[in-house]
Amino acid sequence: MTVFVRVVETGSLTAAGLACDLSPTMVGNHLQALEARLGTRLIHRTTRKQQISAFGQAYYERCVEILGLVNDAERLALDHLATPRGHLRITAPVIFSNECLIPAIADYCRRYPEVQLDVVATDALPDLIEDGFEAAIRIGTPGSPDLVARPLQPYRLVLCASRAYLDSNGVPATPEELRAHQCLTYAYPPRSEMRAAQPEWTLSGPNGGVSVPVGGRLKIDNADALRRAVLAGMGIAMLPAILVDADLKANRLIEVLPDHAPPVRSINLLYLRDRQMSPKLRSFIDFVVERFGSVAGSHV
């Protein structure tokens, strides 16, 4: 149909061939095949000129209409493929979700109004395929070669306690003195690489690194609950900086051993390596990397 329309509009097989990137012979073959299919002559051709038939004129007008609809449908399909839309299910740790991701979601939704987000905030380690997630933000090193990991700004931790606890129990001057304190620790989820590890805090100070076994009467699987226990004066904890920065600035909490830094932990945006990249997933990946991507010297 397209070749026939070009023949009518350009007035010759040669000009139609240039428009369709075909040889004049191939244009003639297309035209003959169409006439054979329809069982009637569309264009009367002689060595000197061509003349469209009455049926050919009516058929030409219908072809223009049909091809216009085809082009509209293709543009609609391309627009659908290019525009992020639909349901996107993602998961992230509770603290990162509360302190970083959720406050930024408003900007994402304004930018991509046709995407509906399902955010599952959990410190468990769900399986992306089994649990139906398209992307996950996770602390630590991804263990599966099936996942693509995009590094985000490292996750900084800080040792802290309340003023009341330190006044009652003393301020540790060295990492070794932590052994004598109530050290509140995090209960890691079952699939975490840290689950089987004994409570031990690794610190880096002026004389290098040191690891100290720690213990206390309280272990909690929720960082915000652990923060509340520290605020209540129950002991010292190693907590995410994004969670306690405001408490430290307001002197509700005091940094312990400020010359000995806890390890900086990696945090990654994960998605399946073999998953076809949909526009909605690509838009979310680009947004998260843009907002929280790894930058030298910057920490979450």
Write the pLDDT tens digit of every residue in 154-168.
889 999 999 999 999
Map residue 231 onto helix, strand or coil.
helix
Closest CA to 143 of 270, 239, 281: 270
CB count within 10 Å of CB 184 equals 25
- Distance, C-alpha 74 to centroid of its chain: 28
Regarding whether 226 and 190 lie in a shared domain, the answer is yes
- The residue range of the domain holding 40 is 2-82
pLDDT > 90 in the chain, percent: 49
pLDDT tens figures, 263-289? 888 899 999 886 567 889 999 999 999
Domain boundary among 33, 50, 82: 82
Regarding whether 149 and 273 lie in a shared domain, the answer is yes
CB count within 10 Å of CB 1 equals 15
Q: What is the mean pLDDT of residues 88-115?
A: 93
d(CA 146, CA 126): 14
Whether 176 shows a pLDDT value over 70: the answer reads yes
Whether 193 shows a pLDDT value over 70: the answer reads no
Q: Assign 196 a pLDDT band (cuts: 50, 70, 90).
A: very low
CATH of the domain at 117: 3.40.190.10
- In a domain, residue 225? The reply is yes
Q: Assign 297 a pLDDT band (cuts: 50, 70, 90).
A: very low
- Report whether 58 contacts 45 (CB < 8 A): no
d(CA 16, CA 42): 15
- In a domain, residue 287? The reply is yes
Angle between helices 13-20 and 24-38 (to 10 degrees): 100
- In a domain, residue 297? The reply is no
Regarding whether 247 and 230 lie in a shared domain, the answer is yes
pLDDT confidence of residue 260: 93
Whether 295 shows a pLDDT value over 60: the answer reads no
Residue with tokens 């690509």: 282
- In a domain, residue 173? The reply is yes
d(CA 292, CA 299): 9
Regarding whether 180 and 39 lie in a shared domain, the answer is no
- In a domain, residue 285? The reply is yes
- Report whether 113 contacts 121 (CB < 8 A): no
d(CA 273, CA 270): 9
- Report whether 84 contacts 279 (CB < 8 A): yes
Regarding whether 166 and 238 lie in a shared domain, the answer is yes
Beta partners for residue 220, in sequence order: 186
Regarding whether 278 and 139 lie in a shared domain, the answer is yes
Map residue 143 onto helix, strand or coil.
coil
Regarding whether 125 and 247 lie in a shared domain, the answer is no
Regarding whether 164 and 130 lie in a shared domain, the answer is no
Regarding whether 251 and 192 lie in a shared domain, the answer is yes
CATH of the domain at 31: 1.10.10.10
- In a domain, residue 221? The reply is yes
Regarding whether 101 and 11 lie in a shared domain, the answer is no
pLDDT confidence of residue 63: 92
- In a domain, residue 77? The reply is yes
Whether 59 shows a pLDDT value over 70: the answer reads yes
Regarding whether 59 and 130 lie in a shared domain, the answer is no
d(CA 138, CA 151): 10
Count of domains for the chain: 3
- Report whether 240 contacts 123 (CB < 8 A): no
Regarding whether 120 and 72 lie in a shared domain, the answer is no
147-151 vs 267-272, strand pairing mode: antiparallel
Q: Assign 141 a pLDDT band (cuts: 50, 70, 90).
A: confident
- In a domain, residue 261? The reply is no
